[in-house]
Amino acid sequence: MPNKRGVEVLKNLFQVYYDKNEKKTIAEYDSFVIRRVSKKQEEELTSLSQKYSDSKRNRGMPKWLNLINRISFTATFTSFIFLIVSLIVNARENKGIHINEYLWLGMIFGVSVVIFVFSIVIAHLIKKKRKGLKPAEVSQEVFNKILETSKEFLSVPDSAKSLEILMEEVDNEKEAKDEIRKFSNVLLSVFVENDLLCFADLYVVIGIPIKDLSEFERVEEPYRFDYWHKSKEEKSYEEYGIELINKATHTYQADHYVSLTMNIPNQDLRVYFPAYEIDVFQTILK
């Protein structure tokens, strides 16, 4: 069925949506899952994922500590200036100095100094606790641990290639608008096993019979995505029409992608992926 641009829109195998009746997320690939992690293994992966999220947050000081530090410093500096200026003005006008008049300023100054020093001490203790650990390295180490653990649980071979697949979330409650298609370019482990083209995420392995796969097709339709996984900058992939269109949100746009047709009766499904992954796909399927 063509969309308003005249481009035929086919169902994406990696399309997910929330079913309000069943109150759960449904994926088009569910019927192609050949194995999944056990409940206990899923809990272990979830625990590692939480550790990864924590390590990402630990790259800087806690937000609450930074806020307290800024507020207490501002209060200390401001109250000190007010106190000094007031004393100088009174001295010039020979009004004399009455402690009661400056008691409130002194209290604000004193309390602010204590809180400011306290925040510095806490920050020092946090830095001391992290001494010798580079947050970015810790995050990468945990991330690699998650992948290795998942591959072990799912029996993913070492020869599997890490490739980007275009996944999309669909809201069936909202009417489709004539906007540029939005995908999530997720990294999956791709390999061949028992005449199946397999895709593995952290929790499941999806297997498609190779005999049911047809040709690769170039889809002349622009799309957007939010992550850049390649080591080289997107400028190195100009032939694929890729550009960074929003630096603040890290949103990218490409002018075409590739579709891999699945010739399965009564199931009009396609696997979509970025055009720069086609060479590796073709190598896997040789």
Distance of CA 198 to the CA centre of its chain: 24
The confidence band for 1, taking pLDDT boundaries of 50, 70 and 90, is very low
Two tokens, residue 246: 């929003």
> At 133, phi and psi to the nearest 5?
-115, 125
Give the pLDDT confidence of 181-236 residue by residue, as tens digits: 899 999 999 999 999 999 999 999 999 999 999 889 999 999 999 888 888 888 88
The neighbour count for residue 169, using CB atoms within 10 Å, is 12
Q: Which amino acid is at 50?
A: Q
pLDDT of 65 above 90: no
Give the pLDDT confidence of 104-129 residue by residue, as tens digits: 777 887 888 888 888 888 877 777 66
Two tokens, residue 102: 């400056």
How high is the pLDDT of residue 7?
A: 45
Helix (H/G/I), strand (E/B), else coil: 267: strand
Percent of the chain at pLDDT > 90 equals 37
Which pTM was predicted? 0.67
Helix (H/G/I), strand (E/B), else coil: 144: helix
Q: Which amino acid is at 130?
A: R
- Nearest Cα residue to 272 out of 227, 218, 226: 218
Residue 85's region, left for phi above 0, alpha for psi from -120 to 50, else beta, is alpha
Strands 196-200 and 204-209: antiparallel
Pairs from 126-130 (Cβ < 8 Å, separation ≥ 24):
126/61, 126/62, 126/65, 130/58
Q: What angle do CA 120, 124, 128 make, to 5 degrees?
A: 175
> At 242, phi and psi to the nearest 5?
-95, 135
Q: Give residue for tokens 């007031």.
A: 86
The confidence band for 5, taking pLDDT boundaries of 50, 70 and 90, is very low
Measured CA to CA, the distance from residue 37 to residue 264 in angstroms comes to 27
Mean pLDDT calculated for residue range 56-76: 74
Q: Which amino acid is at 210?
A: I
> At 185, phi and psi to the nearest 5?
-90, 85
In DSSP terms, 244 is beta-bridged to: 252
Measured CA to CA, the distance from residue 210 to residue 107 in angstroms comes to 77
Distance of CA 12 to the CA centre of its chain: 21
- For 35-88, the DSSP string reads EE--HHHHHHHHHHHHHHHHHHHTTS--HHHHHHHHHHHHHHHHHHHHHHHHHH
Task: Choose between 130 and 63: higher pLDDT.
Answer: 63
Give the pLDDT confidence of 245-257 residue by residue, as tens digits: 988 888 999 999 9
